[in-house]
Homo-oligomer: A and B are copies of this chain.
Amino acid sequence: MKLLGANMDHAKRFNRRVVLETIRLQAPLSRAEITRATGLAPQTISNIIAELSEAGLVRSVNRRSGARGQPAVELDINPDGGFTFGVSFSHGVLLVILTDVAGGVRDRVEIDLPSLAPDAVLDRIARTVAEMLTRQNVARSRVWGVGLVIPAIFQDDHLVALGETALPGWKDLPLRQSLQNKLELPVLIENDATAAAIGERLYGAGKSLTDFAYIYVGAGIGGGLFLRGQPYRGGYGKSGEIGHLVTDTGGRPCTCGNRGCLERYASVSLALKALDESHEDVIRHDDLDRIAAALASADPRLLTWLDEAAASLRQAIVMIENMLDPQAVVLGGVLPQPVLTALIARILPLPRSVSSNNEDTPRIIAAEMGPDTPALGAATLPVFDGMSPELSLLFKQDVVERI
């Protein structure tokens, strides 16, 4: 158990990120305002901004006027400062998105990939990334990295299964390393819920939250935790399996061996099965459209699912609140916005918990990213990795410098 010390170099890296993060969250912002927000000296901020501008990460937008004194120069994140790819592969559908570091989507490619052989998928990802770079005229050197999201649990580089068996051939494959070799770009890998939580934190509903739980409603139910401004992955990297919170003691049997798990009541797969008993465990874009249509037409099969899902989620949310006392619970995943809204409406009102008296934030917040969430969340992984002032950065050894 090593507890590493800090030196000036670490503090420097950390401060660069503090400044970037401050600008990202509050842009446009002047040097003087950053000074006040960070507690660093004006001179220090001036130096740091000079570096960040030099590196192309920050740009001046305009001069503020109207007030006394020398007009402040407003700064914000330069969208051309870097690019990232977000890749999601889930149940036969591959989605690749190219975004800039300011969160703008530059390109988007969706491919049906019935073949599940890992090598074929990874090759296809590599090919698609190369094509998109050419089409958008972005040099590979300007790409910070590639985020990959797969609905599974990872430990180190490897996929491990809980409950349902993993896709054949994928288990125990050094996924990150393999893709990194093919792409010649840094690859970050994450489960869907945590990636979505990071995405919401960077650009969505979590922008002003430091402590929240994200509930990801997808084929199953996943959870992503953001605690003290950082994703929390647990002691062994497998936190957030809130799909297996028991919301109905002795209820429906679950593949995990218990009974009454949240996932047995609230998943999108179950919604699709409710609409069409023969539905296989695949979620395509038009499946989501069908759910939205069913809601629009008040299809009783969907409404039943909504009620069941809401009841289970209500229980789970109260337990999450009592355990973690988050600022809010963000509910998201692949559901279309109207369905998500209807679901939340049915979850409310929530029973009493430690969060009952919080007046600053609503207890449930709808995620903002929508059905492309997995890939969008994936795309934020390299941004988060390169920008966020993670405290432990102070003694991280293998940090890629962007500045």
A39 interface neighbour in B2, B160, B233, B319, Cβ under 8 Å = B2
CB distance from A285 to the nearest CB of B (A): 30
Is A208's CB within 8 Å of the partner chain B?
yes
Hey, which chain B residues are within 8 Å of A357, CB to CB? 160
The reply to whether B21 and A3 form a contact with Cβ atoms under 8 Å apart is yes
A18 interface neighbour in B4, B249, B325, Cβ under 8 Å = B4
A327 interface neighbour in B153, B212, B235, B245, Cβ under 8 Å = B235
Interface residues of A (CB under 8 A from B): 1-8, 10-11, 14-15, 18-19, 21-22, 25-26, 37-40, 44, 153, 160, 162-163, 208-212, 223, 225, 227-228, 232-242, 244-251, 256-258, 260, 315, 318-320, 322-328, 351-355, 357-358, 389, 391-392, 394-395
Would you give 27 A-B contacts (Cβ < 8 Å), ordered by A? Answer: A2-B37, A2-B38, A3-B25, A5-B15, A5-B38, A5-B39, A6-B11, A6-B14, A8-B8, A209-B235, A227-B232, A235-B324, A235-B358, A238-B354, A241-B323, A241-B325, A242-B322, A242-B323, A244-B353, A245-B319, A246-B318, A246-B319, A248-B249, A249-B249, A249-B315, A320-B323, A323-B323
Known: A1-B26, A5-B44, A8-B11. 10 other contacts (CB 8 A): A11-B11, A11-B394, A234-B325, A234-B354, A235-B327, A242-B322, A257-B352, A258-B318, A258-B352, A391-B394
